[in-house]
Amino acid sequence: MRTKLTATAATISTCQSCGACCAYARDWPRFTIEDDDDIARLPPHLVEPDGSGMRWTGDRCAALSGDIAVHVACTVYADRPDVCRACVEGDDACNMARARHGLPAITG
**Shortest CB 38 distance to ligand SF4, Å:** 12
Measured between alpha carbons, how far is 34 from 65 in angstroms, rounded to an integer? 23
CB 54 within 8 A of CB 46: yes
Contact flag: residue 89 with ligand SF4 (CB under 6 A): yes
- List the one residue from 31, 47, 55, 63 that touches ligand SF4 (CB under 6 A): 63
Comparing CA positions, the residue from 29, 26, 30, 24 lying closest to residue 100 is: 24
CB 63 within 8 A of CB 80: yes
- List the one residue from 34, 47, 71, 74 that touches ligand SF4 (CB under 6 A): 74
Where does this chain bind ligand SF4 (CB under 6 A)? 1, 14-15, 18-22, 29, 54, 61, 63-64, 74, 76, 80-81, 84, 87, 89, 94, 97-98
